[in-house]
Amino acid sequence: MNEFVYAQPVKIWFGEGKFEALGAVLDELGLQRCVIACGRHFAPAARALMETEPRLAAVYGEVEQNPQLSGAIETAKLARAFDADAVIGVGGGSSLDTAKFAAAIARGDGDPLAYYRGELPLPSDPLAVIAVPTTAGTGSEVTQVAVISHGDEKRSINQPAFMPKAAIVDPLLMLSVPPRTTMNTGLDAMAHALEGYWNINHQPICDIMAVEAVRLILGNLETAFRDGENREARANMALASTIAGLAFSQPRTAGCHAASYPLSEHYHLPHGEACAFTLDHFVRLNADARLEELCRRVGLSGTAELADRIAAYKQMAGLRTRLADLGDHVDIDVLARESAAHVLMSFNPVPMDAAAMRAFFEQLR
């Protein structure tokens, strides 16, 4: 067995209604003043919460999909204005990542764009982050990654200080996720599990998490998609998403995520849909004895069935599956070159250069 390191510092509070324990989490961490970063769907509830929890000082409620740097800057300004000691991200990965980046830049006097582009080291002593996911997808609550966009530029910024101090995973917050977002985000979680597992840096603890996450997703994603009020399916997907986050938190992701970046940057696909776009094709590409073993352990006959199941999920939700679905002027050379150049591609078990990625995308015309 190879050597490995496994570290996971986030205290996870999981369960239906756990968001009501926010006050207890703030007590435990000794936090006095917090700002919330969230999207529009949660902003009214966040403002209402300020009435009953005096430690909530302000809300930035404008986080968008593929969140912009400007949102993190505004959140950081609020944090400074209110002398906050924590940023609480409530929402999908977009809100969680905004909270992480805001918590870091609130502690520095440098140009936010220079921090973003890595021209200045991010402050290593950020404000505390509490992550409250409301989608079952990104696993951002247990990762040291913040994915932030600036215009069409989308960057995955990785630093240990981004790790939240606590995650509150409450499946009841996910009952309102619309079907298509349920499918996008569920397939993002599937991609995390598979990419942690087939990653060249895979390791045994994360492998176990990956198998369990895939098992839970196969057993619950369709029900959560078709019947959003189904609490058992939502709870199992919430669990799967956090476990899948743990599965990729150490090895990181690989080719499918590398390809998702240009797909989101140039064709504005939501992150989960951008991952789903190539996921079944990467399953076929990366098929080997280890992946066959995972399939057997989750009750599938093999990698072909896994790829077919993923393709069926995409069809069920009407997700885009062909390059022609992205518009009339898709530049396959740009997609191939930028996917191949992305650092995450170097973790794919089958090496893929620009020519190989071009051939890969040709199948998707």
Q: Return the number of the residue (238 or 295) whose C-beta is nearest ligand NAD.
A: 238
| 22 versus 287: smaller Cβ distance to ligand NAD | 22
**Nearest distance from C-beta of residue 27 to ligand NAD, angstroms:** 26
Q: How far is the CB of 10 from ligand NAD (least distance, A)?
A: 12
Q: Which is nearer to ligand NAD, 89 or 287 (CB)?
A: 89
Single-letter residue type at 335: L
Q: Which is nearer to ligand NAD, 9 or 299 (CB)?
A: 9
For residue 278, give the nearest of 258, 253, 294 by alpha carbon.
258
Task: State the virtual CA torsion across 205, 90, 164, 73 in degrees, nearest 10.
Answer: 130
Nearer to ligand NAD, 185 or 242 (CB): 185
Q: Which is nearer to ligand NAD, 135 or 286 (CB)?
A: 135
Return residues touching ligand NAD (CB under 6 A): 39, 41, 65-67, 91-95, 97, 134-135, 137-140, 143, 145-147, 173-174, 176-177, 181, 185, 188, 271-272
Q: How far apart are CA 220 and CA 234, in angstroms?
A: 8
Distance CA 256, CA 177 (A): 24
For the CB of residue 32, give the shortest distance to ligand NAD in the complex, in Å: 26
Q: How far is the CB of 93 from ligand NAD (least distance, A)?
A: 2
Minimum distance of ligand NAD from residue 355's CB (angstroms): 27
Residue 302: closest CA among 287, 313, 312, 315: 287
Beta strand ranges found along 151-266 (DSSP E): 153-158, 166-169
From the CB of 327, what's the least distance to ligand NAD, in Å? 21
Residue with tokens 């101090």: 165
Axis-axis angle for helices 271-285, 303-317 (nearest 10): 150
Q: Could you tell me the strand order of the sheet in which 166-169 lies? A: 11-14, 166-169, 128-133, 86-91, 34-39, 56-63
The residue with its CB nearest to ligand NAD is 92
**Around Cβ 156, how many Cβ atoms within 10 Å?**
18
